[in-house]
Structure 1
Amino acid sequence: MLRLGGKQMCRQGAWVLPRVSCLPCSRNILQTATRKMTQQRSPVDFTTSIRKDPKEKDKITALGWFLLLIPATTFGLGCWQVKRKIWKEQLIKDLHEQLNVKPVDLPENLNDLSHMEYRLVNVRGRFLHDKEMRMGPRSLIRPDGGETQGGLFSQRDAGNGYLIVTPFQLSDRDDIVLINRGWVSRKHVDPESRTLAQDQSEVELTAVVRQGESRPQFTPDHKGVNMYLYRDLPRMCAATGAAPVFLDAIYDPQGIRNGPIGGQTRITLRNDHMSYLVTWFSLSAATSFLWYRQIVKRLPF
């Protein structure tokens, strides 16, 4: 019996070689085989698992059609502002034409004047000059419709002044109304500087019906008892005992020198529709371009 390495190597008459184990070599062979299998395996393309039709890719989604409402709505608002602009310009034209319509007599019921703004009416009575009020400062509206611009030293007295508002006692009734006699320069604001224009006799004149004004934004309070910044009818009537009626005297070419100059009626209607329609149409054009670029063409920025 032969012993190799302390172990019996012969079993039932046959020689058996010892089982030799080499762990490092086995590990290297396994890693090499795994590496080759990995290199031969092609990467999986997950994008090919769901195939898309090219037509579906270019199709506009429901969200895309919904976003089209933005340019469509702004375009509609622009068209609406065009109609508003035409309507407002026609209204201003009609109001200017009313200033040339034949005047009517003052109605018996003074409440009817609330629906007659910018209408011409005839009144007869006398001025109560001791209760005279001033409103302003204001620039002068010339008889041709132009308006002077005050502010320069050379034009201070010619372009900047006040409106003289005087209570008017009607001759055929006990009512008192307020009449804006017209514009005077700063140096003729005091009644003593225009004594010839302070007539106490009964007169007949034509005036334009006006309504009161709300306090404009950022406008301070009135400066004094007889000084007003806007047509504050409740306060003016409370101070003079007049009815809530305000009239603008028309221009009189035979007016007394240095006296109030009539014809100071302003058509105070805002007409900003041109800027509005430009804004809406611009927004419509910009959003339409963005919608076409992003939804139809799908171009990145």
Structure 2
Amino acid sequence: MLRLPTQMFKHALILQRLPPPCNGNTTVKLVLRKMNSQRPADWPIGVATNAKDKEKITALGWFLLLIPATTFGLGCWQVKRKIWKEQLIKDLNEQLRMPPVELPDNLRDLDKMEYRLVKVRGHFLHDKEMRIGPRSLIRPDGVETQGGLFSQRDSGNGYLIITPFQLANRDDIILINRGWVSRKHVNPETRALGQNQTEVEVTAVVRKGESRPQFTPDHKGGDNYLYRDLPRMCSSTGAAPVFLDAVYNEQVAPHSPVGGQTRVTLRNDHLSYLITWFSLSAATSYLWYRQIVKRIPF
């Protein structure tokens, strides 16, 4: 309902105070003529304009549109990351099936050869043996055993045996993960037949060191490690910063370390990330359309 201006109320009061009409209502006509002349200037004419203003999207409304647009862009980026990570994992697994190559003369070249198979010749320094664990056994078929049950405590839970390896015809010493042993065979005396002192040729996978995982305590010293702490292992044994995982070999002595404990462990959580971003984009787009465009209250 339109609100009448103050001036109109004044004219209405004047009409009420006028004497009864006479002589053709000359006085009333003069008053009405004055009201009509002032009406365009005094009456509110912005009702239609206000309705259009309400339909306009403000600068703040357009700014809020950045939220669904940004989350949609992040979802598209995660799609690209997922494709890239899956291709990388595929390439690394293919490297594990490629023929082994000779160990390069410059050991620094191994920094760009992770997950490549190499051949090395030399002998193990068993007196400097170390272990990493506890670890589950990765069987030759790729299945990882789950230790912890009474029936599987010895067969599914153990340690990785890390032994310095003196290269033949070279002064370099490197570290080789010979493989997994159960808890009852951690002591070298329990697997004496596998402690070969002669020169051997080993096929192994190039690996890099690890950063300390979150919530993992630091090493307490000794020859037991919780992760591949390459700097500390090399410092205690005098080895070069080279770490290799021996491949699986059926022709080993009983109770010897089981090789083939390499697994491509690149995280690939991009599917969950892209679902999260696209869901946020859809939800915020709906809220923006409802609140900014349609102006529907909750």
Pick which of 138-147 and 53-62 moved more: 53-62
Question: In structure 2, what is the Cα distance between the partners aligned to 1:280 and 1:298?
Answer: 25
Alignment counterpart, residue 288 of structure 2, candidates 288, 291, 294: 291
* Residue 88 (structure 1) shift: 0.4
Partner of 1:52: 48
After TM superposition, give the deviation of residue 200 of structure 1 in Å: 0.4
Q: How far apart, in 2, do the equivalents of 1:247 and 1:284 lie? A: 45
Q: 1:49 to 1:244 in 2, by over 3 A?
A: same
1:13 aligned residue: none
1:158-213 Cα distance to aligned partner (Å, 9 max, x none): 11100000000111211110000000000110001111100101100100011111
Distance 1:184 1:47, change over 3 A: farther
SS in 2 for 1:153: coil
CA distance in 2, matches of 1:229, 1:95: 25
**Alpha-carbon offset, residue 224 of structure 1:** 3.4
Structure 1 stretches of 4+ moved >6 Å: none
User: Which position in structure 2 is the counterpart of 1:162?
Assistant: 159
TM-score by length of 1: 0.82
**Matches for 1:75-90 after TM superposition, within 5 Å:** 75-90=72-87
Query: Does 1:238 pair with 2:238?
Result: no
Q: What percentage of residue pairs aligned between the two structures are identical?
A: 78
Residues in 2 aligned to 1:58 and 1:123: alpha-carbon distance in whole angstroms: 76
| 1:1-301 equivalent positions in 2, closer than 5 A | 48=44, 50-53=46-49, 54-301=51-298
CA RMSD of aligned residues (A): 1.7
Deviation per residue, 1:87-136 (Å, 9 max, x gap): 00110111111001111100111111111111110000111111100111
Bigger shift: 243-252 or 216-225? 216-225
**What amino acid is the match of 2:285?**
S
Distance 1:127 1:224 in 2: 22
Show CA shifts across 1:12-44 (max 9, x none): xxxxxxxxxxxxxxxxxxxxxxxxx8xx9xxxx
Residues paired across the two proteins, number: 258
User: AA paired with 2:294?
Assistant: K
- Unaligned 5+ runs, structure 2: 1-12, 17-41
Distance 1:75 1:234 in 2: 42
**Distance change >3 Å, CA 47–CA 172, structure 1 → 2:** farther
Give the CA deviation at 1:47.
11
Pick the structure with more helix per residue: 2
